[in-house]
Amino acid sequence: MKLVIVESPAKAKTINKYLGNDYEVLASFGHVRDLPAKDGSVRPDEDFAMSWNIDGGAKKRIADIVRSVKNADELILATDPDREGEAISWHILEILKEKKALKDQKVKRVVFNAITKSAVTTAMANPRDIDVPLVDAYLARRALDYLVGFNLSPVLWRKLPGSRSAGRVQSVALRIVCDREMEIEKFDPQEYWNITSNFAHAGKQFDARIYALDGKKTDKLDVKTAEHAAQIKAAIENGSAIVSNVEKKPTKRNPYAPFTTSTLQQDASSRLGMAPARTMRVAQRLYEGVDVGGETIGVITYMRTDAVQIAPEAISETRRSIAKRFGDEYLPEKPRFYQTKAKNAQEAHEAIRPTDLFRHPDTLRHIDPEQHKLYELIWRRTLASQMRSAEIARTTADINIEGASPSVALRAVGSVITFPGFLALYGVQSGGKKMMKTIKNCPPLKPVTNQP
């Protein structure tokens, strides 16, 4: 018998179905031990030695793991593929060693980025050891939490009654907020006026903004007073508008990269009205598994990541799905590859994507409404990331006001989508909390005709 340790009971239940009767899967319910809230838990003078304590709720779970591991031939640590997951595996292994529960059992560490049968079985076939540098990173973080937070928090409680705590994150965030507030207080406000003229042509209205005065291009702060603005307004109203130049340029708008944790939270907030904490809870359920045809399957990959790239096989699957649902005209000649712009990004695994790109959101309408909306958002974003760029015709019209003193030039800029590309699936959101309109079964779309 092989014993597998994961974090959550939902994850354990799903994985147990994939592995069969030769495996027992137990859940640790997250972290099993932590630094006690007392002096001496971290000792810098002793090479940052740490004292750990198993909390009351974890003692029973540890006892279950110890009892099961004694009857197991092999221990497989299958916690999440990030720093915290690596730390949980390390903690469990250290506890088992301290309790001398391990005899001749083999100990393996496996990670998978998605909870599907193929991902789990592939991971089981490719075990590794505990990632010591990742554990060291966790230990450094916890030491910093303790040394900063346990010293600062009591000061905060005395000076600011009602305050909760301080630490490595809150303290730095507070510093950034304070620095920004000081910049705001030092800001010297300057008055300026915007001037926009409304025109009509062929039954359609459009706006043109001031572009130049007396032949000199203006910037935002050039019109500083109401009197100057009124003088320009009178010159426009009393003069004759003549279109001096019209220029048309084709431009392209490229699709967004697949979701990282932060971009998922941002778009879920703006498009679905979901708070970041709620977004992560719903994503956790999609990752751990939902009912798909009577079987519990993880429908998205791991949702804590800074990476924007996806696996080559997923790119191929995405392109086939686009060709099937939209037609070859929506598919670029070559696959798109993305690189993160963030420094020190944690790119140990993929961006957030559906585990099966052919699993249309309409097939999951029976699940929780919030889960369905978030899955649809992830599905759209992933497919859109591999679609053709949107093609846009950008028109610039320069309008001179003849007879005006001072001489005034206005500029109007407009765009028309000539080919929607990725915007057909993941358009610009303009409705706040409104979700994008569902494209039923994503039928092939015709290019948008050019409008005057």
Instruction: Tell whether the torsion through CA atoms of 366, 367, 373 and 378 is positive or negative.
Output: negative
Catalytic residue of the set 18, 138, 146, 302: 302
Query: In this structure, are residues 57 and 29 in contact, taking their beta carbons and an 8 Å threshold?
Result: yes
Residue 153 burial (CB count, 10 A): 17
> Whose structure tokens read 């409008």?
451
Residue 417 burial (CB count, 10 A): 19
Using CA atoms, how far residue 151 sits from 36, 49, 167, 172, 178, in Å, is 14, 18, 9, 15, 20
CA–CA gap between residue 303 and residue 382 (Å, rounded): 13
Query: In this structure, are residues 324 and 360 in contact, taking their beta carbons and an 8 Å threshold?
Result: no
CA–CA gap between residue 245 and residue 398 (Å, rounded): 5
For every residue of 390-441, DSSP letters joined together read EEEEEEEEEEEEET-SS-EEEEEEEEEEEE-GGGGTS----STTPPPPP-TT
Nearest residue to 131 (alpha-carbon basis) of 99, 97, 85, 65: 85
CA–CA gap between residue 268 and residue 277 (Å, rounded): 11
Active site residue 256: no
CA–CA gap between residue 411 and residue 401 (Å, rounded): 11
Residue 358 burial (CB count, 10 A): 12
CA–CA gap between residue 219 and residue 332 (Å, rounded): 39
Q: Which helix (H) or strand (E) holds 271?
A: helix 261-272
CA–CA gap between residue 65 and residue 101 (Å, rounded): 9
Q: Write out the catalytic residue numbers.
A: 302
